[in-house]
């Protein structure tokens, strides 16, 4: 098993109401085996050291630079989730030292490789963050059609209230990876978001090519967030003031009954 790989692809975001607003941007991100971070340092990438591309452990988990795998296993233990296999982190890297990640995903597997939990670590542009710990109903292995929901707890956009819920979908294949997050308010589906990428070997050559293709990756993420916000403001989409951040740092899965279950 590799210690890491690149994902090169696109992010899609679409708002459906009260005006439609859709955009697609190229991105690249990393999937890192947290047990093998020490093997990843090279000329183009570093862990807790300056490189053109890097990650800093203080950006994740406890936010104090402590061991990420140990922190995640502690969270799983508190939630009584049996995921004793590999833990992988999907994240945008720091680019020339600058980082902003709208959301990081921690994929927690059992010893047989089954995906038992996913932690979605959401960050907003106000320096706040919140975590959504997702697991399938009954503790089953998470599949592409698993029912994964969580109540929205963090203010992310001034054009959406802190209300409603998210629906998550994760699909992996040997060659690609796909993550979707749909946001529902009281009227139904409001926002569709997806990140899709092709798996690429984590080599200095591929890291260099990804950086040269998108040298302003993380700066661009912030710039595009503000640009799209300006477009919504110009279209007079209703504006919501930022409330206080949530009291609890972690939200857990909300298992909604499917239409089939409700009819039984």
Query: How high is the pLDDT of residue 239?
Result: 92
Those residues whose C-beta lies under 8 Å from the C-beta of residue 234, and which sit 6 or more positions away, are none
Is 211 among the domain residues? yes
Q: Is residue 180 part of a domain?
A: yes
Contact 168, 148 (CB under 8 A): yes
Closest CA to 111 of 138, 135, 141: 141
Give bridge partners of residue 26 from the DSSP assignment. 10
Terminal-to-terminal C-alpha distance of the chain:
43
pLDDT of residue 257: 54
| Rounded CA separation 3/67 (Å) | 16
257 in a structural domain:
no
Domains contained in the chain, number: 1
pLDDT at 264: 33
Its domain, for residue 62, covers 4-240
Residue 191 within a domain: yes
Asked if residue 8 belongs to a domain, the reply is yes
Region of 29 (left: φ > 0; alpha: ψ -120 to 50; beta: rest) is beta
Residue 34's pLDDT is 98
In a domain, 143, yes or no: yes
CB atoms within 10 A of CB 181: 22
Query: Of 170, 210, 171, 203, whose CA–CA distance to 9 is shortest?
Result: 210
Domain-embedded: residue 212: yes
- Would you write out the chain's pLDDT as a tens digit for each of its 264 residues? 689 999 999 999 999 999 999 999 999 999 999 999 999 999 999 999 999 999 999 999 999 999 999 999 999 999 999 999 999 999 999 999 999 999 999 999 999 999 999 999 999 999 999 999 999 999 999 999 999 999 999 999 999 999 999 999 999 999 999 999 999 999 999 999 999 999 999 999 999 999 999 999 999 999 999 999 999 999 999 999 999 999 999 999 987 654 334 333
Pairing state of beta strands 250-252 and 129-134?
parallel
In a domain, 134, yes or no: yes
Instruction: Report CA torsion sign: 221, 241, 191, 177.
Output: positive
Model confidence, pTM: 0.94
Q: Which residues 6+ apart lie within 8 Å of 231 measured at CB? A: 21
């Amino acid at each position: 098993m590799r210690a890491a790989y690149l994902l090169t692809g696109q992010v899609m975001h679409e708002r459906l109401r009260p005006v439609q607003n859709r955009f697609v941007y190229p991105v690249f991100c990393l999937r890192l085996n947290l047990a093998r971070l020490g093997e990843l340092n090279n000329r183009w990438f570093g862990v807790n050291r300056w490189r053109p591309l890097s990650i800093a452990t203080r950006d994740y988990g406890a936010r104090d630079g402590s061991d990420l795998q140990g922190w995640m296993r502690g969270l799983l233990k508190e939630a009584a989730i049996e995921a004793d296999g590999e833990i992988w982190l999907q994240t945008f890297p720091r680019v020339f030292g600058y980082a902003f990640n709208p959301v990081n995903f921690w994929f927690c597997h059992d010893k047989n490789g089954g995906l038992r939990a996913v932690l979605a670590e959401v960050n907003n542009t106000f320096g706040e963050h919140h975590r959504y710990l997702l697991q399938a109903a009954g503790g089953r292995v998470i599949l592409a059609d698993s029912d994964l929901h969580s109540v929205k707890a963090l203010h992310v956009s001034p054009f959406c209230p802190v209300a409603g819920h998210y629906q998550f979908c994760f699909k992996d294949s040997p060659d690609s990876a796909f993550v979707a997050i749909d946001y529902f308010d009281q009227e139904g589906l409001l926002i569709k978001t997806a990140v899709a990428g092709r798996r690429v070997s984590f080599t200095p050559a591929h890291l260099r090519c990804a950086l040269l293709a998108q040298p302003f990756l993380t700066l661009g993420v912030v710039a595009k967030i503000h640009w799209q916000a300006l477009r919504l403001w110009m279209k007079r989409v209703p504006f919501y003031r930022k409330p206080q951040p949530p009291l609890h740092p972690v939200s857990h899965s909300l298992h909604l009954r499917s239409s089939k279950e409700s009819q039984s």
